[in-house]
Amino acid sequence: MGGDHGPPVVVPASLQALKKCPALHLILVGDNDVLQEQLRNQSYDASRLTIQHASQRVEMDESPSQALRSKKDSSMRVAINLVKEGVAEACISAGNTGALMATARFVLKTLPGIDRPAIISTFPTLSGKNMRMLDLGANVDSSPEHLFQFAVMGSVLASAVDNIKEPKVCLLNIGHEDIKGNELVKATAQLLNQTKAVCYAGYIEGDQLYQGDADVIVCDGFVGNVALKASEGIAIFIRNLLKEGYTRNLFTKFAALVSMPILKSLVKRMDPDRYNGACLIGLTGIVIKSHGGAKISAFAHAIEEAIVQVEKNIPQRISTEVEQLLKLSRDPS
């Protein structure tokens, strides 16, 4: 029921995903009447699509604590409960990020050894390789131990999903030299330098985020969120300037016409739809956050992201890795 568009996007995206993935079963959680209405006159395999009624919905501007307290029958809460009960293997939501994080953390709990879940997402890079970055805004005022845990989780995800043997993990900083950075980054670097659990490759600066040198980039949620949104901001700036330029007069419109294949390939390469579906990592279950403004194909992509995480058994893998680490730190021999 969440996101900017709600069921008119989520339902068609679900039908699209069901067609594409024959093994997929989906439970639509939300207002029964609204969902039935969306499904009317649609053809789909009813044995793989059920509706679970929920009488409430979390508003996009509702505070997480408010949602947690007073929306116990919201579509979000019911969906996460289904994961907790083992009825569903993953939950996908385009709703209020803060409420989703708070509810998921409250209901599912974090994995043993993980203090805080983080938001991780995938980005395109110049090299063509994917880059994963965390935390993108779930946690502010993180400690070095939190960032260390993020590094381990990001490394496990990149290794499992992208089949990278030893994912290169970098710390986001404002310089490469040891003396550069704030206290958080310097203390985290010390922890990462001492571990064999991740392949730590040192500091990376903001202008190298999209070069493809790192498989996983770790930072505090405040910093990650700013970096991500500043990137969006400048991309929108450039898009608007191009649009302005190409629509100025007849000649520029002709230039736009002949440039169309190039501009289309640019948009495709950076297409946020293809990268939709951030993961709330570090929980005992799988929760995927779609962009609130996602359209049908983007939301379908978030569903596919959930399928991959289920198939790869991500929470279990993180749990095993962290358990191994905790064992090592208890018994360093």
User: Where on the chain is the footprint of its own copies (CB under 8 A)?
Assistant: 61, 63, 124-126, 137, 140-141, 172, 174, 177, 179, 181-183, 185, 205-211, 219, 221-223, 225-238, 240-242, 245-246, 248, 251-252, 254-255, 258-259, 261-263, 265-266, 269-270
Q: How far is the CB of 180 from its own copies (least distance, A)?
A: 8
Give whichever of 20 and 229 is closer to its own copies, judged by the CB atom: 229
Give whichever of 124 and 167 is closer to its own copies, judged by the CB atom: 124
Q: How far is the CB of 235 from its own copies (least distance, A)?
A: 6
Give whichever of 188 and 309 is closer to its own copies, judged by the CB atom: 188
Give whichever of 139 and 309 is closer to its own copies, judged by the CB atom: 139
Q: How far is the CB of 258 from its own copies (least distance, A)?
A: 4
Q: How far is the CB of 137 from its own copies (least distance, A)?
A: 5
Which candidate, 291, 310, 283, places its Cα nearest to that of 106?
283
Rounded distance between C-alpha atoms, residue 148 and residue 89, angstroms: 27
Q: How far is the CB of 126 from its own copies (least distance, A)?
A: 6
Q: Give the helix ranges, DSSP H, for 88-182.
A: 97-108, 144-162
User: What's the DSSP call for residue 222?
Assistant: H
**Strands, E, within the chain: which ranges?**
26-30, 49-53, 90-93, 118-124, 130-134, 168-172, 199-204, 216-218, 278-281, 286-289
Q: How far is the CB of 26 from its own copies (least distance, A)?
A: 31
**Residue 313 CA from chain centroid, whole number:** 16
Decide if 318 contacts 153 (C-beta within 8 A): yes
Q: How far is the CB of 261 from its own copies (least distance, A)?
A: 7
Decide if 281 contacts 117 (C-beta within 8 A): yes
Give whichever of 35 and 94 is closer to its own copies, judged by the CB atom: 94
The partner residues of 30 in beta bridges, in order of sequence, read: 53
User: What's the DSSP call for residue 291?
Assistant: -
Give whichever of 36 and 265 is closer to its own copies, judged by the CB atom: 265
Instruction: Please state whether beta strands 118-124 and 278-281 pair in parallel, antiparallel, or not at all (unpaired).
Output: antiparallel
Give whichever of 70 and 324 is closer to its own copies, judged by the CB atom: 70
Rounded distance between C-alpha atoms, residue 278 and residue 216, angstroms: 14
**H or E element, residue 251:** helix 250-270
Decide if 150 contacts 176 (C-beta within 8 A): no
